[in-house]
Structures are given as C-alpha cells and as structure tokens.
Structure 1
Amino acid sequence: MNHHVEARNVVKRFGPTTALDRAGIEIAEGETRALVGRNGAGKSTLVSILTGLLRPDQGEVLFSGEPAPPIADRDAWRQRVACVYQHSTIIPGLSVAENLFLNRQPGRGGLIRWRALRDRARELLDTYEVDVDAQALAGELTVEQRQLVEIARALSFGARFIILDEPTARLDGPAIERLFARMRSLREQGVTMLYISHHLDEVYEICQSVTVFRDARHIVTSPVADLPHDELVAAMTGEATVAYTSRSRTPGGTVVLSGERLSLAGRYQDVDLTVRSGEVVGLAGSASSGKVGLAETLVGLHRADSGTVTVNGRRLRPGDVPAALRAGLGWVPQDRHREGFVPRLSVGENATFPIARKLGRYGLVSPSRRRAKAEELIESLDIKTEGADQPVGDLSGGNAQKVVFARALVDDPDVLVVINPTAGVDVKAKQALLGAVEDAVERGAGAVVVSDELDDLRICDRVLVMFHGRVVKDLPRGWTDHELVAVMEGMEE
C-alpha cells in the first residue's frame, strides 16, 4: 500500500506540556481518514506539524515516501498539503479571484493582468465545479462557498492531501451533504483527506478509517467498519480514573444565577441556565461548543448580543466585570497567567485584591488586616508559600492556581464561576481546589464549573452539555464517562 502521508514517532513539547508523545499517523493514497480525540488529545498540534507550521522536536513527516520540505519553504508545503479550517483563512476584502491567486497573480514587473487573473480563476472554479462568481467579494460568500473556494485554491497549488478541520461546525444539513458529495468526488480523483470532527456520526458516513488520539498519544487506527461506536468512544475516554469523590448534598431553592436566552454570534445561541444556592452546575463540550464563551459572558468578560444575566435577582449590565463582582460573583479565569494574578505582587496582595476597599478607610488599605485575611486563605487552601509577602510568580503551578482561587473566594461570593480549574496541577492540588468549590457551595453559594476534565465535573449536581453553541443535554449526577463523552461528541445514543 502506498502511504501518501506519514508522521512517525512525533514528539512535540510546549514548555512542561507534552502535546504529542511519540504519536504518528499513516494515510494511504486516496483514503479519507478521520482523526478524533477529546480536547487536548494532540489533534491540532499534529495538524500544525503536517502543514509545516510547527517543527517536531523528534520524529519525521513524509509525503509519498519523501521527507517533508524545510519549514521555511512555504510554496513546497502548499504543493503537498492544505488545511480547510472551521474559521476561514480567506481575506474578505478581496475578490474570489484575488484570493485564489494571492501572491501568484499573472503579470510582469509588479503589474497584475486583471483579465488573465479573472479568466484563470473562472477556469479553476469550473474545473472543481465551484458555483461562485470569480469577481464576487470573498466577504459576501456563505461559509459553504468559502470552504469550496479554499478547497479549489488548495488543489490549484497541486496539493493532493487536504486536511478538513471541523468543516461542518458552521454548516446546516443540506450544506453538509453537499460537502460530503464533494469529498466523495475528490476521493474518486485520488485526493487524500484527513477529516477532524466532533460529530462521530459523520466519521462513519464519510471516512474509511479512523485514528484516535488520547493524552498526546496514538491509541488506535482502524477501518470504521471494524470499530463500533462504543469502542470508538472507549478509545477516546480511556479507563475512567476516579481521582475525586464528590460529597452528597441537597441544593437549596434560591436561584443565585440565571442566564436567559443568551446568544453571542459565533459562540453560542439561545442558552438558558439557572444555578441554585448549594448547587454545582457543570458546563461540558468540545472546544467549539461555546462553553467557555458562555461562562465568560456570565462574569461580564463578553457582552452577549441578546439575553440577560441575573445574579441574586439583580440584572447585570452586559460586559461589566466589576459590576458582576460587586453583585456577589467570584470567578476563576481560564488563563491564570493573563487574568488570574499579577506575578510581581505578593500572595497576600493578589489574594485580597477584590476586597482591598474593605480592608481600610479612605482608600488606604490596612496592612495588618490584609495580612490576617491572606494568612487565613493561605491556611484554608493549604498554599505552599514562604508567606503572604512572597511574589506569586515564584510559586509552583498548583499553588499559583490556589492563589487565583483565594482571590475568587475572598469575598465569600454567592456565585462561583470556575473555568478549567485544575488544568496543569497535580492530583493533590486538584483535590484541594475541587474541595474549595464544594466548601463554598456548602456555605450556600452556587457554582458553575466549566472543564475539559471529566474528574472536575464529578462534583457537579448536573452537567449541561453544549454542542456547537447550544445546550443539548442536562445530565443529572450519576453519568458515566462514556455517556457524557458520547453527548459531547455529538453522538447521543
């Protein structure tokens, strides 16, 4: 069998994180291969390596048995591989013809021969049966038309290997069927494709084989006909390791946070959500599900296009973080380094930031009151530090994350919104952080936990699963990993 594309024993690290650990893929000429795996499995890193955007630390990439070109030789890469992303790379202010021949326009001495450009563009669109006007502005095309133009552009460079990264995320049913018809005809012409999707049903419909990545490693490659749905989901989730046992509790009756009919273009549509005192509600879903965008809207980081957020019965002004904090909301951001703490300030200063106004009079902060509050938080969260004066930038990842939690909890919030709370921390820190959420909830707060980690979601009384911007399921406590992942990957049974 001729392998059109091979990546062998690829290792890629970003600082302490290993994104690919001796992973690889081999795709035969004219084959449509699916690549699936949960968020963080290593799929996008592999795509970046297969398209020459990243150089592997170890391992090799081959096209038709020949080593991949040097990273700097962009034209050589374009002749071998192209990627059609969920978000278009087409330039909206240029015409279709200009996009198709960007940086390779016909002409001499810097002058472009416009008629030749249009003629070549029409010829190219006709060849690949793309029903789009070459003179139209690219920004006026539909998502579907833009994708077809991108595919035609890729093929015109001579690339016979195309990566489609979640191409159906923004298409409706009929457009998806047309895309699949196009993919089948390309396959008949010998084009090799790698198809990445969170719709596992599509994998069975359009692909001949499937590769599963999990935790930066290659887990299995199989013909789709030989891998039943159950086994595919099991390969993606692995053995469930229960690192945290949730406490049992009965949520109260008071609604402390609600979102009604919330929509934000390109992120999520028409979401309703209520959280009661004493209740933990989880938000789960893939990277394109909209879960982080929704959580960030609840705390005021984004302004929804429509709908309202209410905390403790008070309607919040959209896009106003300070107002949300004043209303009784505490939050742990997704990126602790950018939004979570100020590295040069001390543990005490970071932890007591939100309540500085309460620790003194006339705008002056009482150092002794700040220290007492900081020491109380250091003890309750077991933060390993030389003391309240140590800069947060000197702490380990787990302890720095505890400082971010301390800041969220310092004012005894009525609502806690935490995004990926245990990313990059060890098991012991993980247990302390999830325990801190449960302590706050037992005191009567409501909490929203957004996470890619199934273990984080085990503390939830119910989990709302989002799929391409909508809440598709409200799963009560007691779900299995298999059941949750099947819904998250668009394959509800």
Structure 2
Amino acid sequence: MDAPSNKRAADGRVPADGRAPIVEAEGVTKRFGSTVALADARLKVMPGESHALVGRNGAGKSTLVNVLTGIFPPDGGEVRFDGRPAPAPGDRDAWRARVACVYQKSTIIPELTVAENLFLNRQPGTRGVIGWKRMRREAADLLATWDVQVDPAREAGRLSVQDRQFVEIARALSFGARFIILDEPTAHLDNAEIERLFVRMRALRESGVAFLFISHHLQEVYEVCETVTVFRDARWIATAPVADLPRADLVAAMTGEATELGREGGRREPVTAPVRLAVSGLSGPGFSDVSLEVRRGEVVGLAGSSASGKIELAETLVGLRRPASGTAVLDDRPVPFGDVRKAMDAGIGFVPRDRHAQGLVPELSVGENATMTVAGRLGPFGVVRPGRLRAEAAAAIGDLDIKTAGPDQPVNGLSGGNQQKVVMARALATDPGLLVLINPTAGVDVKSKEALLAVVDRVRADGTAVIIISDELDDLRPCDRVLVFFHGRITAAHPAGWSDRDLVASIEGVS
C-alpha cells in the first residue's frame, strides 16, 4: 500500500494523464494547542470516484473533513480543488461551490419545507419578496434533475432519514459542488435504504460527482468504494485500491500490529458466579432484541460504532430511556425503566458519557457532587448536615485519590481526570450491585485513566457486576467478555484475550 502518485504536468497541478483530482490534500497539519490533530495528512480523490476514509476514533478523520470543508484552516500543507488552491477562509460561497458534507446528524431544518431548505438564504423573488411558486417549481426541477423523489412542499421533518440525506446532497449539487463527503451515512438506515443510497451514489458518480465515504462499517467500503485511505493516530497510513486490499490487511492498517506489547485484553478464566443482571429481548430506539447476562463480579464490555446501539441500551438500563419491549432483571427484581432515581434505588450506579453535560453540576462543590446520589442519608427529613456531607465526601476523596483542596472546593476547579473521579465517586456512593460506565476515561490523562480502571477491579472483587461501554479499546481490556453491537444487535462476543485486530474487525462488521 503505497502513497498515491504525485506526478504532474508542466503546470505543476494537473497529473500527466490530463485529469486533475477533484480534491487533493498534501502534507496537511493541524494543531489545537499541544494536541496534534493532523500530521502530514494526505488524500487524493478523482472525479467520479467513491473514496473511503477509514480509521479508529481519534485517527484524524473529522479534523480532515473540517479542513476540506473550510471550517478549519490548515496550519501547514495545501488543499487543492480541480488543481487550484482552496478558497480563502471565510469565503463560504466559494467553498459551497466545491465541497459539501452530509453529516450523520442532519443539517436540514425540520420545521421548513423541502423547498425552503433547498433555497435557504437564496430564495428566488424580487424586491425582497419571496416568489413561493417559483421556489417550489425550481425545487421540483432540482429534485427531478438528481432523481430525488420527495415532495418539495412537504415539511422536511416528516421525511425519512434517507430522504433528508438525498435532499442535502441535492442542495450541495445545486451550488455546483461535485465533491460530496458522506459522514457515517448508513448509521441510521436499514438494509434496503443502504442499498438505495448506494444505487444513487453509483448514478451520481457517472455524472462526475465524487464521494468521500466515511464509515465504521468496513463491508460497505468494499461494496461501494474504489479506493480507501487509512488514517491512524492523526497520520496518513496508506491508500490503496479496495479490490487489492484484503479485509485483514485493512483492519491491520487501522489498528497497527495487534502483537505489540499491551495490545491484547487480559486473559482470565470465565466467570461462573450467579447471574446478577439478566436482559431478555430488550428493544428500543437504536437497538433490537438484545439478550445478555452479567454475573456477580463479572465485567462485560459493550463495543461498537457510535450508532451501533450500545449507548442507547446502557442508558435504558440506568433509567434514562424506556424500551419498547423486553425485560431486565437485577438481583431477581425488574429493572425500573425510565426513572433514574428508581434505578439507583434498585442498585444501579452510572457514569454517563459526558461528565460536563450529564455528570457534574459545575456550580456546586466537590463534596456536593460526590454525594448527590445519597443526599437522603446525610441528615434527617431531607436536610443535609454539612458535617456529614464533608465526612462522606472526604472518604470518597481519599478512596479515589481525588486531587482537591477539600470537599468545599468548586468542582469546576478540578482537572478533567479528577472531575471524572468525582463522577465515579457519586456512582459508587450507593454501593451499587450493577455499575454502568459509559466512556469512563474520556478526556483524562494516563494516570487518571489507570486509577479509574483500577476501581473496576476493586468493585468486581466485592461482587459488583460491571458493564463498560466505550470507544476506547484500552477501556475494554479489564473485561471478562466484550459484546459487539452492530446495527442495534449483538453480533459477536470476544472472551478476555482478544486482539485489537479481531475486536476491531467485529466492530467494523468484517469478522
């Protein structure tokens, strides 16, 4: 897998075969403070090509997309469209005429009609008066040109996910863009919708439209793409024709060598203790017919892409969501869905995926945050006694080695790692029988990560059942088993001792 050829004609821009890449990035770097988000990134996409960009979380894909769409200026290197330098930063019209991104989260405004979305901020009319009939007529013509079969007068919020994607693509093409970035376009589509999307992509490619296809589902790369570029650790790793690249080699390029020191999950004997949590046929938004068991003292990991359903399942177990069907039983009692307080009372502790939005009250102290789940036992008749609060908080601070001036320090004055320890302390304060951790080490330093994962080993020794949901492979290494979610279902199970290559292959759907 070699770097793509950079051979050019005498003008220095157009390849010798006469075809200029529709987009080309060379030596692109981007830093945010001390963080290197891109280092020597490169990409070349030809007209009419479907080109995949793959890599694990943190590989640099999103940063490159932001550079290619003009959101971030590169700190170094060069981006060219059709052999010419990229537009100046801030020239949004020029950028829209060259590139568009259809994100996983739609940018369509649901309260507006399809026509209004297509011509937002450029409505046809005279003297400031919008020509509504003309706009609907031009919208119908635009949709027909690109074979998008939706009613221009329909409210966009009533469209299917896929039709919203097609409207976004049509809008991009109407500006003149012939390079479309699809960011996880199949995450919320069923199999029939995915095939329909691929049919439309193939038809548009025949007219010269090029796609950059970003997906965690690698089998889709083999179905719809001609070329694949791999990023890892903010760097370009390889570019190769898809047809010449075995799936195992692609996964290896994404993960690095699976035999490196520390690249395997810890090996342990299977846990044979009594079942503590039993989930049967659970279905809800994002997941379907999930059944699993977690035993006393067992740590089970849930892996999968961001839209695999793993987080939705976890948030259902802790009371943040209600399922459509199915059951969950913890210590022989039904799990109370849809009520976080009742879930805590039933013995479920929880570290949410975003400590800033869901885990902390920044205006309160370390002690108040750490004891929030047990405020009822800190004084009579619901009145918290400050002495009891400080004593309980001091015990948690010592237990988790939280670096703080004391229980009264505002929690927003702590480092990220210590804030996460406070969130963990709050989850442990109720002595849960089941501990659910979503991205438990996100945004923390290495030392804090080790301390947080050490807590898992400690509580499991006391018989607590633990579920870890994470995008980070290192978070899953303490697990006795890792269950892989794919399109809302459990599709693979890996016992302790898994390799990065095998687990990632299951996550990407190529195992």
TM-score, structure 1 length as denominator?
Answer: 0.90
Tell whether the 8 Å contact from 1:297 to 1:303 is kept in structure 2 after alignment: yes
User: Is residue 490 from structure 1 mapped to residue 498 from structure 2 by the alignment?
Assistant: no
1:173-322 to structure 2, matched below 5 A, reads 173-240=191-258, 241-242=261-262, 246=266, 248=268, 251=271, 253-265=273-285, 267-322=286-341
Deviations 1:163-220 (A, max 9, x none): 1122223333343333323322322222221011122122122222111122222222
**Structure 2: which amino acid aligns with 1:469?**
G
Matches within 5 A, 1:119-198: 119-198=137-216
Q: In the alignment, which of 31, 47, 57 is matched to residue 39 of structure 1?
A: 57
Question: Which residue identity does 2:370 align to in structure 1?
Answer: A
Alignment partner for residue 451 of structure 1, among 460, 470, 474? Answer: 470
Residue 61, structure 1, aligned to residue 61, structure 2: no
Whichever residue aligns with residue 470 of structure 1, its letter is R
The structure 2 residue matched to 1:433, chosen from 425, 438, 452, is 452
| Count of residues in correspondence between the two structures | 491
Hey, what's the Cα distance between the residues in 2 that align with 1:270 and 1:285? 16
Counterpart amino acid of residue 104 in structure 1 = R
Residues in 2 aligned to 1:115 and 1:364: alpha-carbon distance in whole angstroms:
64
**C-alpha distance in 1, partners of 2:264/2:382?**
42
1:246 is displaced (CA, Å) by: 4.4
Q: What is the CA distance between 1:301 and its match in structure 2?
A: 2.0
Q: Percent same amino acid at aligned positions?
A: 61
CA distance in 2, matches of 1:352, 1:91: 41
User: SS of the counterpart of 1:355?
Assistant: helix
Amino acid at match of 1:479: W
1:344–1:110 distance in 2 versus 1, CA, 3 Å: closer
Sort the Cα spacing of 1:137 and 1:420 in 2 relative to 1 into closer, same or farther, 3 A: closer
What do residues 245-299 of structure 1 show as CA deviations (whole Å, max 9, x unaligned)? 748466354433344433333x222322332211111110111112222212211
Q: Check 1:443–1:90 CA distance in 2 against 1; reply closer, same or farther (3 A cut).
A: same
Are the structure 2 counterparts of residues 256 and 98 from structure 1 closer, same or farther at C-alpha, using a change threshold of 3 Å? Answer: same
2:434 corresponds to which of 408, 415, 419: 415
- Which amino acid counterpart does residue 91 of structure 2 have in structure 1? D
Q: Distance in 1 between matches of 2:94 and 2:215?
A: 27
Partner-residue secondary structure (3-state), 1:88: coil
Shift in Å at residue 70 of structure 1?
3.7
Q: Distance in 1 between matches of 2:393 and 2:270?
A: 31
Distance 1:326 1:29, change over 3 A: same
Match among 347, 357, 378 for residue 328 of structure 1: 347
Contact kept, 8 Å, 1:6 with 1:26, in 2: the verdict is yes
C-alpha contact 2:101 2:180 (8 A) present in aligned 1: yes
> Are residues 1:30 and 2:76 paired?
no
Give the whole-Å Cα distance in 2 for the aligned partners of 1:390 and 1:244. Answer: 40
| 8 Å CA contact retained: 2:484, 2:506 | yes
Residues 3-18 of structure 1 mapped to structure 2, 5 A cutoff: 3-13=21-31, 17-18=35-36
CA-to-aligned-CA distance 1:303-332 (integer Å, 9 cap, x gap): 334444433333343321111111111111
Q: 1:336–1:55: structure 2 CA closer, same or farther, 3 Å change rule?
A: same
Q: Say what the alpha-carbon RMSD is for the aligned residues.
A: 2.7
Counterpart among 407, 410, 417 of residue 398 in structure 1: 417
> Structure 1 pair 363/97, CA: closer, same or farther in 2 (3 Å)?
closer
SS of the residue corresponding to residue 189 of structure 2 reads coil
Residue type at the aligned position of 1:340? G
SS in 1 for 2:442: coil
| Distance change >3 Å, CA 66–CA 359, structure 1 → 2 | same
Greater alpha carbon shift after TM alignment, 308-317 vs 206-215: 308-317
Matches of 1:26 and 1:98, distance apart in 2: 34
Q: Which amino acid aligns with 2:191?
A: G
Letter in 2 for 1:271: V
Q: Contact conserved, 1:416 with 1:446, CA < 8 A, in 2?
A: yes
CA separation of 1:347/1:176 partners in 2, compared to 1, >3 Å: closer, same or farther? closer
User: What is the CA distance between 1:59 and its match in structure 2?
Assistant: 4.4
Matched, 1:471 2:490: yes
SS in 1 for 2:147: coil
**Are 1:250 and 1:278, in contact at CA under 8 Å, matched by a contact in 2?**
no
Asked if 1:79 is matched to 2:117, the reply is: no
CA deviations over 1:12-64 (Å, ceiling 9, x no partner):
45566543344332223332210011223222232233223344455443222
CA contact (8 A) 1:39 1:286 kept: no
112-121 or 408-417, which deviates more: 112-121
Q: 1:276 to 1:163 in 2, by over 3 A?
A: same
Deviation per CA, 1:75-129: give whole Å up to 9, x if none: 2222111222334333344443333333333321233334433433333233223
C-alpha distance 310-71 of structure 1, shift in aligned 2 (>3 A): farther
Query: C-alpha distance in 1, partners of 2:408/2:108?
Result: 50
Report the Cα offset of residue 344 of structure 1: 4.7
**Structure 1 portions without partners, runs of 5+:** none
Q: Does the aligned pair in 2 maintain the 1:38–1:286 contact within 8 Å?
A: no
CA 1:269–1:361 in structure 2 vs 1: closer, same or farther (change >3 Å)? same
Q: What SS does structure 2 have at the residue aligned with 1:222?
A: strand
Secondary structure of the structure 1 residue equivalent to 2:106: coil
Residue 3 of structure 1 aligns to a residue whose secondary structure is coil
Report the CA distance shift for 1:256/1:187 in structure 2 as closer, same or farther (over 3 A). same
CA change 1:336–1:92 in 2 (3 A) is closer
Task: State the AA in 2 paired with 1:152.
Answer: A
Distance 2:275 2:367 in 1: 32
> 1:478–1:5: structure 2 CA closer, same or farther, 3 Å change rule?
same
CA spacing shift, 1:205–1:443, aligned 2, 3 Å: same
SS of the residue corresponding to residue 380 of structure 2 reads coil
| CA pair 128-387 structure 1, distance change in 2 beyond 3 A | closer
Q: Distance in 2 between matches of 1:352 and 1:436?
A: 18
Q: For each residue in 1:356-410, what CA deviation from the matched residue of structure 2 results, as whole angstroms up to 9, or x when unmatched?
A: 3223334344555444443433333233334444443333322222222222212
Tell me, yes or no, if the aligned pair for 2:265 and 2:496 is still in contact at 8 Å. no
Cα offset for 1:136? 4.2
Q: CA deviation at 1:488?
A: 0.5
Letter in 2 for 1:119: R
Q: Does 1:374 align with 2:393?
A: yes
- Judged with a 3 Å threshold, the aligned counterparts in structure 2 of structure 1 residues 124 and 370 are, in CA distance, closer, same or farther, namely closer
Q: Distance in 2 between the 1:138 and 1:340 partners?
A: 34
